[in-house]
């Protein structure tokens, strides 16, 4: 699998990442093993997780597979901190104490002395300089090689990255992560311009529109799907509305003409969009992951990519800019 540089940093990752949000809940230990094995066999290196995923179980599952399915040195482990469970509710706590406590827990569960990319999971109530001081400590202490941001909007991304650049010795922000797909193009308004201006890498999550762009919801709500589940139905429901149908049908039509699957068309559109480093795939089984891996040598014709731009929200300024 092709490797890409993460922005202007020295970090390199596979151009597809393996997301683990459902590990420990919808993904069994056996399926996790199959996913990681298939991903690494195809040349994948980037595995994205978080302290909050299944209350740490996703990280434990990865830790148990390291050294068995894959060597630690062959993985780029990205994890996140800042979501905590308090009094039975999940809240954002980006204080230095909470972040560093999350980091120590992540290292213990993963069975490693460092992570390759440590990210603040969301913008939080703590003073920004306090949050960022935790990132500095993580890098200075060798617990993290690089640091990044997750789910920050454009101005938050710019403020954090600029703060870190203001004084020599601070840990530079290497990357940002937010939702981006043919059904969620808001990142193009402010986040992606900020990322390009600041030289950051970009990891889109839910590049398949929370599964809707695969076409499996075109006729009904399949039993056993994420959209039909009690704990993820709310996550999929916004993209089952009428306004999404035209985009899904356009993807299906393009797929038929190109002899690809809708999943592959939707993924290729994101993977090769200007500014994207590596989309994060949340497959639940190796069989679900296979079509994405099989599309490694494929690329959408420029006219198809542009047509999908038009039907999903309008022309993409960065695609048409000579400097993009």
Note down pLDDT in tens along the chain; length 324 residues: 999 999 999 999 999 999 999 999 999 999 999 999 999 999 999 999 999 999 999 999 999 999 999 999 999 999 999 998 777 788 999 999 999 999 999 999 999 999 999 999 999 999 999 999 999 999 999 999 999 999 999 999 999 999 999 999 999 999 999 999 999 999 999 999 999 999 999 999 999 999 999 998 886 666 666 655 666 666 778 888 888 999 999 999 999 999 999 999 999 999 999 999 999 999 999 999 999 999 999 999 999 999 999 999 999 988 876 554
Complete DSSP assignment for 44-58:
--EEE--TTGGGGHH
Find out whether 160 and 135 touch, Cβ atoms under 8 Å: no
Whole-angstrom distance, CA of residue 12 vs CA of residue 91 = 32
- Domains of the chain as residue ranges with CATH: 3-209+274-299 (3.20.20.100)
- In the residue annotation, 137 being an active-site residue is answered as no
Residue 324: predicted pLDDT: 45
Q: Is 186 exposed, middle or buried (0-12, 13-18, 19+ CB in 10 A)?
A: middle
Between CA 323 and CA 187 the distance in angstroms is: 19
Are 17 and 47 a contacting pair, CB within 8 Å? yes
Q: How high is the pLDDT of residue 172?
A: 98
> Which member of 53, 146, 180, 217 is catalytic?
53
CB atoms inside a 10 Å sphere around CB 207: 32
What is residue 219's predicted lDDT score, i.e. its pLDDT?
Answer: 66
Describe the chain by its helix, strand, coil percentages, rounded to 5. 45, 20, 35
Output the pLDDT for position 108: 98
The pLDDT of residue 225 is 66
In the structure encoding, which two tokens stand for residue 72, read together? 């630690």
User: Encoding tokens for residue 157?
Assistant: 């991304």
């Amino acid at each position: 699998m092709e490797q890409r540089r993460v922005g202007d940093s020295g970090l390199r990752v596979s151009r597809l990442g393996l997301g683990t949000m459902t590990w420990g809940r919808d993904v069994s230990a056996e399926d996790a093993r199959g996913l990681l094995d298939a991903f690494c066999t195809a040349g994948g290196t980037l595995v994205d997780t978080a302290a909050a995923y299944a209350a740490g179980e996703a990280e434990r599952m990865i830790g148990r597979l390291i050294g068995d399915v894959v060597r630690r040195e062959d993985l780029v482990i990205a994890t996140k901190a800042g979501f905590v469970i308090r009094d039975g509710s999940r809240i954002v706590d980006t204080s230095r104490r909470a972040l560093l406590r999350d980091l120590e827990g992540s290292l213990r569960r993963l069975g490693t002395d460092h992570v390759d990319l440590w990210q603040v999971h969301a913008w939080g109530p703590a003073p920004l300089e306090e949050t960022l001081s935790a990132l500095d400590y993580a890098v200075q202490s060798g617990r993290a090689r690089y640091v990044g941001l997750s789910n920050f909007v454009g101005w938050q991304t710019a403020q954090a990255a600029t703060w870190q650049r203001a004084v020599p010795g601070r840990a530079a922000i290497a990357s940002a992560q937010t939702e981006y797909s043919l059904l969620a193009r808001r990142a193009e308004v402010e986040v992606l311009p900020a990322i390009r201006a600041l030289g950051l890498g970009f990891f889109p999550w839910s590049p398949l529109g929370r599964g809707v762009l695969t076409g499996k919801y075109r006729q009904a709500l399949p039993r056993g799907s994420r959209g039909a589940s009690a704990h993820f139905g709310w996550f999929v429901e916004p993209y089952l509305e009428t306004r999404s149908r035209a985009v899904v049908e356009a993807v299906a039509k393009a797929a038929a003409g190109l002899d690809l699957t809708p999943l592959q068309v939707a993924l290729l559109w994101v993977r090769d969009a200007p500014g994207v480093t590596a989309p994060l795939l949340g497959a639940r089984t190796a069989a679900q992951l296979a079509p994405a891996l099989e599309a490694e040598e494929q690329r959408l014709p420029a006219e198809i990519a542009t047509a999908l731009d038009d039907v999903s929200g309008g022309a993409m300024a960065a695609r048409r800019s000579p400097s993009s």
